[in-house]
């Protein structure tokens, strides 16, 4: 083949390989709906335009090999910006912004290789409803999921050599379970121990309750010898009490505390997770039990800002129920006494969007209970609330925001945190 002819053939082949075809799609009325180009393999390639039926631009983007690639923007029917982003090889990368029809920013985020990476901010009518740091598509939380799973499993693991008597074994199991709750909410747990004198007075207290046949923190003497009565009274008056002879079940009742007679203060729960506790005791008799709660001998108290239950970050669903009240106890050294006028929001965060897609809008939950308790069950400043129709399942996430608080110096304060429910089993 002559050189000139060979060059023409090669040029013709190159033209075939690089030829693109313009495509237009129209609405039934004849207005243009889509304009884009496809390569010789039928893949979108080059500029891409999509229009609303009113003729205004809906999507302005660029494609490469069938994927979004380059600047990406969507617009409301009014023509105002909706989404501003950048794609690379079909994956979101860099800054992402979403605005409402009124031009108010609803969401800002940063992506890397199609995954959230950086600060995610979600707002409703200009008010922040979520501020979450993300890394590799996952929220950055106080503790990793692996750390929570491993630590809880280690805390709850029974000793290799079980005690000879069942009551001691039951007490130790209850202590481990209490330690797990305390670990989750971030108060001292590792040095929590059973105290023999506390075991004795709670046992005497349970016997006193069995004698009178009801729960009573300050019972009258039903005819017991004075020494026996005083020991029992020391147990009933300084302990959490329950109408069950099962110590683990009693502990679950204390942490629930959400029945009509206790939800207004959550006193049993607040004693269980009181930061100053280091010692406790468990006793039972018949269908009554007691847990010593008034210990304040803990010296290693962290400089906490607040203590929340369910805990911020990863929270195993085995340690919470959907009908439980939520609470936040403020450090009285850092906050002024909260008022009943504080604002509380709980927003259900939607399940993770598909890779490369922006996150969906959170859904606010109604509260069926709200109260501020100033009584001193452990920490005095306690905010109590309960979301209605809570879905409790592995992977469910809830954003909590409490506004209207004041620091000790008078500065306005807002608490924001994420609760990420997970399965411990």
Q: Tens digit of pLDDT for each residue in 379-416?
A: 999 999 999 989 999 989 898 989 999 999 999 998 88
The answer to whether residue 255 sits within a structural domain is: yes
Helices (DSSP H) in 213-296: which residue ranges? 226-236, 247-256, 267-272
Q: CA-to-CA distance for 13 and 159, rounded, in angstroms? A: 77
Q: CA-to-CA distance for 246 and 385, rounded, in angstroms? A: 28
Say whether both 297 and 403 belong to one domain.
yes
Q: Give the confidence band of 359 by pLDDT, cuts at 50, 70, 90.
A: low
pLDDT of residue 11: 42
Say whether both 149 and 269 belong to one domain.
yes
pLDDT tops 50 at residue 182 = yes
Note whether 141 and 134 are within 8 A (CB). no
Say whether both 218 and 101 belong to one domain.
no
Q: CA-to-CA distance for 298 and 191, rounded, in angstroms? A: 9
93: helix, coil or strand? coil
Say whether both 408 and 289 belong to one domain.
yes
Q: The tokens 């929570």 sit on which residue? A: 148
The answer to whether residue 9 sits within a structural domain is: no
Say whether both 114 and 180 belong to one domain.
no
Note whether 51 and 73 are within 8 A (CB). no
Final residue before a domain boundary, out of 106, 139, 172? 139
Pairing of strands 363-364, 367-373: unpaired
Say whether both 186 and 310 belong to one domain.
yes
Say whether both 236 and 321 belong to one domain.
yes
Say whether both 215 and 352 belong to one domain.
yes
CATH number of the domain at 100, please. 3.90.930
Say whether both 134 and 153 belong to one domain.
no
Say whether both 374 and 298 belong to one domain.
yes
pLDDT, greater one: 142 or 241: 241
Say whether both 133 and 159 belong to one domain.
no
Q: CA-to-CA distance for 86 and 69, rounded, in angstroms? A: 7
pLDDT of residue 17: 47
Tally of domains in the chain: 2
Final residue before a domain boundary, out of 116, 139, 162? 139
Q: Give the confidence band of 374 by pLDDT, cuts at 50, 70, 90.
A: confident
pLDDT of residue 389: 87
Instruction: Indicate the Cα dihedral angle 239, 243, 247, 251, nearest 10°.
Output: -70
Q: Which of 193, 275, 208 is nearest to 238 (CA)?
A: 208
Residue 118: both structure tokens together: 């950086």
pLDDT of residue 6: 44
Q: CA-to-CA distance for 354 and 357, rounded, in angstroms? A: 5
Q: How far is CA 135 from the centre of its chain?
A: 17
Residue numbers of the domain that contains 59: 18-139
pTM of the model: 0.74
Q: Model confidence over 286-331: pLDDT tens digits?
A: 999 999 999 999 998 889 999 999 999 999 999 999 999 999 999 9
């Amino acid at each position: 083949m002559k050189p000139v002819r060979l060059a023409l053939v090669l040029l013709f082949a190159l033209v075939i390989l690089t030829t693109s075809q313009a495509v237009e799609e129209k609405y039934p009325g004849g207005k243009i709906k889509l304009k884009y180009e496809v390569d010789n393999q039928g893949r979108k390639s080059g500029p891409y335009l999509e229009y609303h039926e009113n003729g205004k631009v809906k999507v302005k983007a660029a494609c490469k090999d069938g994927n979004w690639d380059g600047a990406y923007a969507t617009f409301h029917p009014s023509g105002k910006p909706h989404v501003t982003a950048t794609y690379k090889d079909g994956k979101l990368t860099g800054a992402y912004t979403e605005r409402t029809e009124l031009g108010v920013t609803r969401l800002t985020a940063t992506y890397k290789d199609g995954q959230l990476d950086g600060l995610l901010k979600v707002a409703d009518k200009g008010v922040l409803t979520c501020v979450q740091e993300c890394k590799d598509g996952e929220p950055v939380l106080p503790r990793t999921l692996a750390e929570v799973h491993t630590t809880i499993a280690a805390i709850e693991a029974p000793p290799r050599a079980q005690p000879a008597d069942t009551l001691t074994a039951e007490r130790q199991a209850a202590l481990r379970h209490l330690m797990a709750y305390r670990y989750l909410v971030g108060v001292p747990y590792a040095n929590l121990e059973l105290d023999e004198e506390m075991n004795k007075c709670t046992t005497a207290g349970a016997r006193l309750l069995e004698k009178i046949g009801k729960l009573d923190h300050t019972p009258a003497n039903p005819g017991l010898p004075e020494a026996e009565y005083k020991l029992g009274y020391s147990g009933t008056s300084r302990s959490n009490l329950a109408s069950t002879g099962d110590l683990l079940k009693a502990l679950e009742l204390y942490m629930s505390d959400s029945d009509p007679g206790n939800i207004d203060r959550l006193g049993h729960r607040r004693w269980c997770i009181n930061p100053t506790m280091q010692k406790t005791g468990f006793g039972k008799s018949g269908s009554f039990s007691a847990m010593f709660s008034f210990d304040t001998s803990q010296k290693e108290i962290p400089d906490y800002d607040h203590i929340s239950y369910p805990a911020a970050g990863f929270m195993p669903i085995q340690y919470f129920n959907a009908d439980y009240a939520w609470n936040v106890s403020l450090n009285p050294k850092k906050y002024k006494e909260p008022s009943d006028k504080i604002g509380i929001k709980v927003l259900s965060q939607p399940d993770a969007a598909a890779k490369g897609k922006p996150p969906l809008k959170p859904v606010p939950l109604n509260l069926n209970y709200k109260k501020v308790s100033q009584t001193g069950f452990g920490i005095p400043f306690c905010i109590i609330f309960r979301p209605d129709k809570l879905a409790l399942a592995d992977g469910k996430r809830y954003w909590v925001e409490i506004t209207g608080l004041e620091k000790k110096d008078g500065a306005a304060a807002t608490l924001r945190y994420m609760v990420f429910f997970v399965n411990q089993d």
